[in-house]
Amino acid sequence: MPDRRDILSLRTDRPEGGGFLTVGDVLAEPAVQAGEPRVLVGGAALDVAVRWVHVSDSVGVARLLDGGELLLTTGAGWPVDDDLLADFASGLHRAGIAGIVFEVGARHAVVPQVVVDVCATVGLALVALTREVKFVAVTEAVHHALIAAQTHALRERQRLHELFTTLSLQGAPADVVVSETARTLGAPVVLENLAGEVIAAEALDTSVADVLESRHRGERVPVQARGVRWGTLLALAGRPHPAGRLTVLEQGATALAFGCIADGGDAEWSLLAQRSVIDDLLGARFAKAQDVDARLRAGGFALRDRQCHGVVVRGSGSIGELAYRARQAGCAVVAAHVGDDDVALLSSPTSAVLSNEVLLRIAGPDRAVFVGPVADDVLGLLASLRAARDLADSDRADAGARVRRVGDRPLERLVATLRDDHRLHAHSQRMLAPLVRHDEERRGDLLDVLAALVAHPGNRSAAAAASHLSRSVFYQRLTLIGDLLGADLDDGETLAALHLALLARRRTAASAR
């Protein structure tokens, strides 16, 4: 007559990837705790998923198993010989069981050492119950826990479906989908295109550089639909998810694929990635420079052993065509449309010369180019880009093919270098305060007139024309400026100091935008 425990417990299938218990979860059940369990082989083995519980003392139990079972046994029918017992324990492992819960008692006062050794070698969970328990109570408890976990998993799957369907219907951009996927998983998530370039990344509380460096060790799912693949969505290690981590990734990938279908491809991905880098760089939205460096390198833009510039291009044109021409010229490029201008980062070999002719060819017909100083790191690139924008803001001429470099403007270069020095801003406020008050109270234009004057030193007729004022009115404004400031506007040192103050004020205003 078979042992009362040599029966198969209720078998409860679980949705793949979710709705499971771990060996550790089962051990925490009161029905198991009543047996005063002692873990003989644990660690990572306790995190293995349990699909159901199987109760048997039979020596032939391995052939009845499908994998994922937690075996409850007293070992009554197990081999006595150590070699046979080792083979038997190895066979259980090969059958894919989740672990062994061994009740010691009359048949075995302790778990046979050879079984402990095999389990320790292969990493199979082994737990000794030091007091007798009703195995049927254990199977019932685990059965109910599995049903509850499966129900929770199904609810989570429905919630995920609703979340990502909503994102798809709203036309959410790829970076939003990536962020929601990461928050759902509680782990960093990265989207790559087919070339392996990073399109979007949500690092959560982890360093972006660390995430990008270790991304190839994460779980991966393709972003594809209708036989077309656009990229890969991957997640770094994190906590288990009730619906299954792969299920979450697949839902996110599906939402991204729908976005590609709606947009006619992944062309928007590259623009999104570059705009994100530009925005974060301009807004200084990064804690560590190496995070931005990692994002740039992930997009094929290198800083080390290269000469890099921040560039602003003014005039009508296409970002995509600008980027294409830059690559044709041998430059790595990150570009985005910001305000009324195109903003770009250019990286070229140190041996290459970014001549005016090359820059105009990259920019396109009838476009003005404003070039920041050369940079070889992230902070230098940020300063170069800001300096180029300041130079573009100071240029009031109509659009047309020309190149202006911050390096050719000593005061612009000085202000770029001292941009964070409070003494520069104090100088600007002190010198210009009377003009600022006048213009605010009377809606005046004295600051604009002064800017025209310093932009055309020695040629007041040109300065008047730039101000769109008659010469007589322009001279009246200059007299008023001189009186308010108590300064001689014919003095070169005074004009240089006022020019410096205007540049610092313009830079402060640009940073506040």
Q: Could you read off the pLDDT of 39-65 as tens digits, one per residue?
A: 999 999 998 988 889 999 999 999 988
Residue 206: phi and psi, rounded to 5, are -100, 150
For residue 212 the two structure tokens come to 């990008």
Q: Enter the DSSP assignment of 408.
A: G
CA distances from 178 to 26, 184, 253, 254 (A): 34, 10, 9, 11
For residue 425 the two structure tokens come to 């801003």
- Bridge partners for 12 per DSSP: none
* pLDDT, position 354: 87
Instruction: State what percent of residues in the chain have pLDDT above 90.
Output: 37
Whole-structure pTM value:
0.60
- Fill in the amino acid letter for 285: R
- Among 103-112, 275-284, 315-324, 479-488, the minimum mean pLDDT is found in 275-284
Q: Where in the chain is the domain with CATH 3.30.70.2730?
A: 301-413
Q: Enter the DSSP assignment of 374.
A: P
Question: Which top CATH class is 171-270?
Answer: alpha beta
List the CATH code of the domain at 21-147.
Answer: 3.40.1390.20
Which of 327, 277, 281 shows the shortest CA–CA distance to 298?
277
For residue 219 the two structure tokens come to 């779980």
**Average confidence (pLDDT) over 179-190:** 93
Q: How far apart are CA 141 and CA 137, in angstroms?
A: 6
Q: Where in the chain is the domain with CATH 3.40.1390.20?
A: 21-147
For residue 224 the two structure tokens come to 């594809």
Which of 56, 54, 53 shows the shortest CA–CA distance to 2?
56
Q: Enter the DSSP assignment of 9.
A: P
Q: How far apart are CA 119 and CA 113, in angstroms?
A: 10
**Average confidence (pLDDT) over 193-197:** 86
CATH fold group of domain 301-413 = Alpha-Beta Plaits (3.30.70)
For residue 138 the two structure tokens come to 């254990």
Q: Where in the chain is the domain with CATH 3.30.450.30?
A: 171-270
**Average confidence (pLDDT) over 192-214:** 87
Position 1 pLDDT exceeds 50 = no
* pLDDT, position 326: 92
Q: Judge contact between 303 and 378, C-beta under 8 A.
A: yes
Q: Enter the DSSP assignment of 267.
A: H
Position 125 pLDDT exceeds 90 = yes
Q: What is the layout of strands, in order, in the sheet containing 341-349?
A: 332-338, 341-349, 306-314, 368-371, 402-405
Q: Judge contact between 5 and 74, C-beta under 8 A.
A: yes
**Average confidence (pLDDT) over 303-323:** 89
Three-state SS at 183? helix
Position 353 pLDDT exceeds 70 = yes
For residue 61 the two structure tokens come to 């139990």
- Among 20-34, 233-247, 263-277, 333-347, the minimum mean pLDDT is found in 263-277
* pLDDT, position 490: 87
Residue 226: CA count within 13 A, CB half-sphere: 7
Q: How far apart are CA 507 and CA 409, in angstroms?
A: 15
Which of 385, 360, 359 shows the shortest CA–CA distance to 374?
385
**Average confidence (pLDDT) over 171-185:** 92
Position 7 pLDDT exceeds 50 = no
Q: In which band, very low, low, confident or very high, does the pLDDT at 15 lie, cut at 50, 70 and 90?
A: very low
**Average confidence (pLDDT) over 100-124:** 92
For residue 483 the two structure tokens come to 């009186």
Which tens digit of pLDDT belongs to each residue from 65-110? 888 899 999 999 999 899 999 999 999 999 999 999 999 987 888 9
Three-state SS at 287? coil
Which of 119, 135, 108, 150 shows the shortest CA–CA distance to 29?
135
For residue 352 the two structure tokens come to 């290459």
Compute the mean pLDDT over every residue in the chain, rounded to the nearest whole number.
86
